[in-house]
Amino acid sequence: MRVLVSRQDGLGDVLLAGPALRAVAARADEVVLLCGPRGRAAADLLPGVDRVIGWSAPWIGPGREPVRRSEIDGLTRRLHGFDRALILTSAHQSPLPLALLLRLAGTPWIGGISADHPGSLLDLRHRPGEDMPEPLRMLALAEDAGFPSTGDDRLRVRGPLPDTGHLTGGPGYVVVHPGTSAPARAWPPERCAAAVRLLRAAGHRVAVTGHADEKELTALVAGEDGLDLGGRTTLPELASVLEGARAVVAGNTGPAHLAAAVGTPVVSLFAPTVPAARWAPFGVPMALLGDQRAPCKDSRARECPVEGHPCLASVGADEVAAAVEIVMTGEVAASVEEVTG
């Protein structure tokens, strides 16, 4: 049985699909993951994926991408020959555009989560529970489609990961990742820098990670007290750096989920533009910081709609440093329920 599984948005979203993909892989002969360019590097790290098809869906990406008939026709040809398809989406996304293309490609059975009436586009219209963590929400669709959980529902990446000791000086440090894909989710850089100084004063080695286009940010945050790794790692190398850390400080962004996938505790500076109950780091000791009742709650804003960015600007560097000490013990400093309930 050849199964296509789709998750077409960002790096973190693709990582969160891991438990569902492993459940499908346990019953299928081949699993092909359809993903967009923002999640492509994460797709290569997921166990259970035999092949990846990359395609930028115009109804998923953050920009206004042109719709070209030639690209739609080309994708439809590439989707030919699957026995089943599962369309994994966020709560605000619809599986129906892709389901239509899969029908045109001849896919006989398609499952997805849909708030809209699917007509003949879906064979399985799954209805998830409210506020389920995103990995379990996707896994529930897979289970309803006949692919039961393997019993290991945590996030995972393929091993072995590359050795990054030459970058970090060996394991046992704390990682601070200041960048985010949306400015509304970012802790102020000066607070990040203050946290680095406090952690260093407490005796921790601190590595500051970031994408190649975030070098100015990582240099500012690292200052003289942290090791600046901005732009110096591929995604597998970043996974290795995070695996060697005792704790990771990050916003609601892909590397926070990557840290969870390698089993490292996370201090999550979480802006409530999306629900923490669904999107907080999953399956590891985690401290959730940030005002989850701020006016931006559930707005899905990319740019902060509230003057002063109060949901995260209210968090002090001393609170983050204290949370690091707690999560390193394997305890949860603040659960999602405590902060959001």
What tens digit of pLDDT does each residue of 56-65 get? 999 987 777 7
Q: What is the mean pLDDT of the chain?
A: 93
Predicted pLDDT of residue 138: 96
Token pair listed for 48: 């259970």
pLDDT at 191 over 50: yes
pLDDT at 256 over 50: yes
Quote the distance between the C-alpha of residue 237 and its chain's center.
17
Percent over 90 (pLDDT), the chain = 85
- Decide if 32 contacts 51 (C-beta within 8 A): yes
Confidence of residue 339 (pLDDT cuts 50, 70, 90): very low
Average pLDDT in the 6-33 region?
A: 97
212 DSSP assignment: G
Predicted pLDDT of residue 332: 61
Q: Which amino acid is at 103?
A: R
- Can you list the domains of the chain with their CATH numbers? 2-144 (3.40.50.2000), 165-340 (3.40.50.2000)
Confidence of residue 334 (pLDDT cuts 50, 70, 90): very low
Confidence of residue 331 (pLDDT cuts 50, 70, 90): low
d(CA 238, CA 187): 20
Confidence of residue 312 (pLDDT cuts 50, 70, 90): very high
Contacts of range 310-313, beta carbons closer than 8 Å, 24 or more positions apart: 311/271, 311/272, 312/185, 312/186, 312/187, 312/188, 312/251, 312/269, 312/271, 313/188, 313/191
